Amino acid sequence: MGLAVTHVILTIVVLDLLRHYIFGKHKFPRYLLVVGGIAGLFPDIDIPLTWVYSFLTGIKGSLHGTFTHSLTFVIIFLIIGAILHYNKNMKWARICYVIAFGWFSHLSLDCLYGGYKDFLWPFFVTNFCPQWGIGQHATSIDALILVAWLVHEEIHNNIRDYI
């Protein structure tokens, strides 16, 4: 599984590239990058939930990689976004779409790292992710993503957007 920073920064970088090249800055405000970055980390809420569960029950275990690592939440946010979009509530529709994207990017990154995820919970539990063994390079991957994004922003004179 990727590091927490990877989940946040990769989501922000991809959303920022979409913002610059597809949607435009006016239709895709910067706060959506923050929402997306947080959503990219949100499936890992099961880690503190495990702590609370263990504290309350006295049972040591792990919920990590279970229900919050499911495509079910991505689909739910897409459906809510589509309903809001249909009702012309574009601000909240965009927020839901960005949350769905961030959540999906988390799941995709975990799968790339060879994660142990229940992607189709609660319907059935399966793990179809390959085991590529890139987890040992997690810190280097973080650095490469960040440097590539910074170089992109500097080349296009957009680094000032974040200062």
Tens digits of residue pLDDT in 40-73: 999 988 888 888 888 888 888 777 777 788 888 9
How many whole angstroms separate alpha carbon 153 and alpha carbon 3?
23
Q: Which of 142, 68, 50 is nearest to 104 (CA)?
A: 68
Tokens 């990727």 locate to 2
Residue 72: burial class (beta carbons within 10 Å; 0-12, 13-18, 19+):
middle
Overall pTM surpassing 0.85 (yes/no) = no
C-alpha span between 133 and 115 (Å, rounded)? 10
Kindly give, in sequence order, each residue whose CB lies less than 8 Å from that of residue 102, ignoring residues fewer than 6 positions away.
Answer: 11, 15, 35, 36, 37, 38, 39, 40, 41, 42
Q: What count of Cα atoms within 13 Å lies in the side-chain half-sphere of residue 98?
A: 29
User: pLDDT per residue over 27-44, tens digit each?
Assistant: 899 899 999 999 999 998
Domain positions in the chain: 4-72+104-162
How far apart, in whole angstroms, are the C-alpha atoms of residue 62 and residue 40? Answer: 20
> What pLDDT shows up at residue 93?
97
Which whole-number Å values give the CA distances from 90 to 11, 21, 103, in the listed order? 21, 20, 20
Q: Say if CB 7 and CB 107 are below 8 A apart.
A: no
pLDDT in tens, 85-102: 999 999 999 999 999 999
How high is the pLDDT of residue 162?
A: 58
Q: How far apart are the first and last CA of the chain?
A: 31
